Amino acid sequence: MIALAPTTPAHAGTDPTDGPAVPLQRAAALVERAVAETGLDLPAPVHGGRPDDADGTGYAWTRWPLGELEDAPAAAAMLRSVLRPDPVAQAVPGVDLAVVPDALHDGGRLLLIMDVDSTLIQQEVIEMLAAHAGREAEVAAVTDAAMRGELDFAQSLHARVEALAGLPVRVIDEVVALVRLSPGAERLVAALLAGGHHVAAVSGGFTQVLAPLAERLNLTHHRANRLGVRDGVLTGRVEGDVVDRAVKAASLRAWATAGDIAPDHVIAVGDGANDLDMLAAAGLAVAYNAKPALRHAADAQLNLPRLDAVGALAGFPGF
């Protein structure tokens, strides 16, 4: 189990590995009350974190190693029910509390699979493309509704892509040049690959944008939609089947099978309703600065702009 929080201005200049900040102390008190309610004998906590760096605000964490308990799975289930009475809200403001499956720490190969827009990267690519057509606000409104789960994703994607019809294909390269990885993304991916794990990205966005990122990051797998192009301009159509929530989950299962990776060794990270099935198929489902629909369904939330904090949630060394 882990409690994780960003370093705050009140603690500027403090190394978060020296101990938990005030919000984490409040979280620890909540955990102690939960332990008392469940009758568990919790191991002593350990502390760590990441100082502020070039990627931005750092984070601090406190972890209780549940694997040391006699019946860790049952203990985890009890603690989840007590610590997350409201699965959307933070039990302690400013702190993300998560109960993490023990399987992630047994030394087996892992698969980290991520959504792309507003997860692996900071932007929504289709909105960046739509800006070239003067329709960014219109497309952004549809994107928000789709990510909240209010619209069918495939239908909404087709409607948004139609707004791109007639744009010169060069705008794709212009958008690729402006794409920015989420803070900590490069560090997270490199560390997992160096440890022999697999890293994948699956997107309801576009392969013309994802492919260069996948090459840059050396991703094990990637998949996205393909924008139609004819005579040097975008057709306003998607070629082939849409990468929707079912396709994302199917990709997770296929890539896990290909890597001989058990489902409980899969970590899935996303931010919107199109990621629901993918997160449901994972051993650890992480909602990253996510819409309420996904926070409600996830095992863990990250409400700070550091993707490398996923490494802290999963207990990777150095995070």
Using CB atoms within 10 Å of the CB of residue 295, give its burial: 0 to 12 exposed, 13 to 18 middle, 19+ buried: buried
Q: How far is CA 231 from CA 158, 165, 175, in A?
A: 20, 12, 20
20 class by beta-carbon count within 10 Å (0-12 exposed, 13-18 middle, 19+ buried): buried
Residue with tokens 């974190």: 49
Question: What distance in Å separates the CA atoms of residue 260 and residue 203, rounded to the nearest whole number?
Answer: 23
HSE-CB for 113 with a 13 A CA cutoff: 34
Closest Cα partner for 227 from 248, 253, 203, 257?
203
Name the catalytic one among 41, 53, 86, 115: 115
How many Å apart are CA 271 and CA 147, to the nearest integer? 8
Q: How far apart are CA 172 and CA 293, in angstroms?
A: 31
Choosing from 53, 71, 106, 117, the catalytic residue is 117
Annotated active-site residue 115? The verdict is yes
Q: Are 290 and 117 in contact (CB under 8 A)?
A: no
Residue found by looking up tokens 């289709």 in the block: 126
Rounded Cα–Cα distance for residues 150 and 159 (Å): 15
How far is 90 from 9, CA to CA, in rounded Å?
A: 20
What phi-psi label fits residue 273: left (phi over 0), alpha (psi between -120 and 50 degrees) or beta? alpha
Residue 117 among the catalytic residues:
yes
Q: Could you give the residue numbers annotated as active site? A: 115, 117
